[in-house]
Amino acid sequence: MLSPAQPSRLLARFIAGTRPADLPDALLLKAKRHTLDTLACGVAGACSAEGAALLATLLASEPTGDQPVWGTARRLGARSAALVNGTACHAFELDDTGGCDHSGAVVLPAAVAALGLADRPVSGLEFLTAVVLGYDVARRVLEACGAYRPHNEAGWHSTATCGVFGAAAAAARILGLSEDAIIHALGHAASFSGGLWAFIHDGSQTKRIHTGRAAEGGLLAALAARGGLSGPSRVFEDVWGGFLRSFAPQSAVPDALTVGLGEGWGEGWRLERVAIKPHASCRGTHSAIDALGALIHAHGLEAGDVERIRVRAPAFLVGMCGGRDASGLAAAQMSLPYALALRLRLGAVGLDGFRAEIRRDPAVLAMMERVTLDSDPALGGSEEPFVTVETTDGRSLSHRVTDPLGSPTNPLPAADHALKVRRLAAMTLDAAAVEGLVAAIDGLDDEADVRGLGERLRAAAPPRPFR
């Protein structure tokens, strides 16, 4: 058996050696669900300002290629397509969460781009296996960094810093790399890692690009390894310049990277813990949204009944989602006060609630000012908040949701997820293309060669900007 001092080798063996037959049926079904969810987010994201600007920038600076830019009729080279498509997947804050944070928006664009570069047929089951492995590796790296809170509190955006390894793993598997080559790919990925939380201070759009850069970096890492370029083999060991010593010097838990590997795969697949988002806002806002929704339904509340909404939350959540700037889309989607104002005024926190006209609505902004956030030092960084509604007739109503809608313990109902997917995909695809995409993902397990999957994500007409 390999010693824990060889984590890159053990991870590479896991990536190269896991068979589709090793994956439980329920896990394959969940992989298809997250694949469809992410692809729908990606084609919708072509309507985003970030997706459009990045595409225009690349078209002006490099030749076109043969890889589809999702939700458009355009094409770019594989790396640039992964960059734009990854950015688009995260552009509306509806992509899945709970992996490396936003795993799907990193893993799927790299995996689909790798399909277009594969020199042999890739079955649907093989593709799904690669996706599962990408989610697994990305989350394992985050766990080795000490998990979400300490890594992100240090200023790193784990979607980008850890996601690049998941993208490299998925791409390497699809490209059929050997165990040794995968070690090189993981080594390259470590040097392509990066992404800071600095965007939180002014609502800048860089956050959206993090997913694209991680997808592009992971794909490049796998391609460089396929091309014979060597990468460092000890990036996960306690050495100068190693990933964990550099990115998580105070919080690293190195054994988390390979726990459960080596004696049979699949002990606690990391995809099982990933959530699908029903609300178009930061996942940190979802428990409070659901708690407010429960109070509204239980007590028949309307906006005029509410004097104040008080949220008691961990300091980490208050710092991350306590902003009140709704002038820009990115900032509004990180704002818990804005999300609660939407839930009370509009009845939902859907994408339409983040259009500019709603973000400027005096009634919504006034309601946002009635939301108070209080840091509670007794609450750990990952604990969910308490929501209290103070009514105009003097009542004080409190509720807490520990398993928000969309989480593995409270999954989004199939009908609701189908509605989400179709609404997003229809932002750029015609009705026939939407149904074709849904059917294609549903039938992935039966397909002998899915290298043309990206073609299903092309749109006939230019995307209409989301404003």
Which burial class, exposed, middle or buried, applies to 302 when counting CB atoms under 10 A from its CB (0-12, 13-18, 19+)? exposed
Decide if 166 contacts 137 (C-beta within 8 A).
yes
Model confidence at 265: pLDDT above 80: no
d(CA 406, CA 376): 26
Q: Do 141 and 227 belong together in one domain?
A: yes
Mean pLDDT, range 381-385, rounded to an integer: 90
Establish if 406 belongs to a structural domain: no
Q: Do 188 and 302 belong together in one domain?
A: no
Model confidence at 3: pLDDT above 50: no
Tokens linked to 241? 């310049």
User: Which amino acid does the sequence have at 120?
Assistant: R
d(CA 23, CA 154): 35
Establish if 152 belongs to a structural domain: yes
Single out the residue of 201, 269, 230, 302 nearest to residue 31, CA to CA. Answer: 269
Phi, psi of 414 (to 5 degrees): -55, -40
Q: Do 228 and 176 belong together in one domain?
A: yes
Q: Which residues pair with 310 in a beta bridge?
A: 372, 388
Q: Do 365 and 349 belong together in one domain?
A: yes
Higher pLDDT, 294 or 265: 294
Give me the percent of the chain exceeding a pLDDT of 90: 96
Q: Do 270 and 308 belong together in one domain?
A: no
Establish if 410 belongs to a structural domain: no
pLDDT tens-digit profile of 129-172? Answer: 999 999 999 999 999 999 999 999 999 999 999 999 999 999 99
Q: Do 201 and 90 belong together in one domain?
A: yes
User: Which amino acid does the sequence have at 132?
Assistant: V
Q: Do 23 and 156 belong together in one domain?
A: yes
Tokens linked to 75? 């094409």
d(CA 202, CA 187): 33
Of 350, 366, 399, which marks where a domain is finished?
399
Report the number of distinct structural domains present in the chain.
2
Establish if 411 belongs to a structural domain: no
Give the pLDDT band of residue 4 (cuts 50, 70, 90). Answer: very low
Model confidence at 46: pLDDT above 60: yes
Decide if 20 contacts 246 (C-beta within 8 A).
no
Q: Do 242 and 336 belong together in one domain?
A: no
Model confidence at 382: pLDDT above 90: no
Model confidence at 381: pLDDT above 90: no
**Domain hosting residue 19, numbered range:** 7-277+419-457
Mean pLDDT, range 12-30, rounded to an integer: 97
d(CA 96, CA 77): 26
Q: Do 329 and 365 belong together in one domain?
A: yes
d(CA 408, CA 412): 9
Report the residue count for the chain: 467
Model confidence at 199: pLDDT above 80: yes
Q: Do 334 and 317 belong together in one domain?
A: yes
Here the CATH number for the domain that contains residue 220 is 1.10.4100.10
pLDDT in the model for residue 1:
36
Q: Which residues contact 354 (CB under 8 A, 6 or more apart)?
A: 92, 280, 329, 332, 333
pLDDT tens-digit profile of 82-104? Answer: 999 999 999 999 999 999 999 99
Report pTM.
Answer: 0.96
Q: Which residues contact 56 (CB under 8 A, 6 or more apart)?
A: none
Establish if 349 belongs to a structural domain: yes
Compute CA distances 425 → 30, 70, 381, 405, whole Å: 19, 10, 35, 21
* Residue 378 CB coordination number (10 Å): 7
Establish if 464 belongs to a structural domain: no
d(CA 150, CA 68): 37
For 407, which DSSP code? B
d(CA 287, CA 416): 18
d(CA 90, CA 42): 7
pLDDT in the model for residue 268:
86
Mean pLDDT, range 52-56, rounded to an integer: 98
pLDDT tens-digit profile of 315-349? Answer: 999 999 999 999 999 999 999 999 999 999 999 99
Establish if 466 belongs to a structural domain: no
Q: Do 364 and 428 belong together in one domain?
A: no
Q: Do 301 and 382 belong together in one domain?
A: yes
Here the CATH number for the domain that contains residue 338 is 3.30.1330.120
Least confident of 206-220, 264-278, 446-460: 264-278
d(CA 296, CA 298): 6
In the predicted model, what is the mean pLDDT of the chain? 96
Establish if 119 belongs to a structural domain: yes
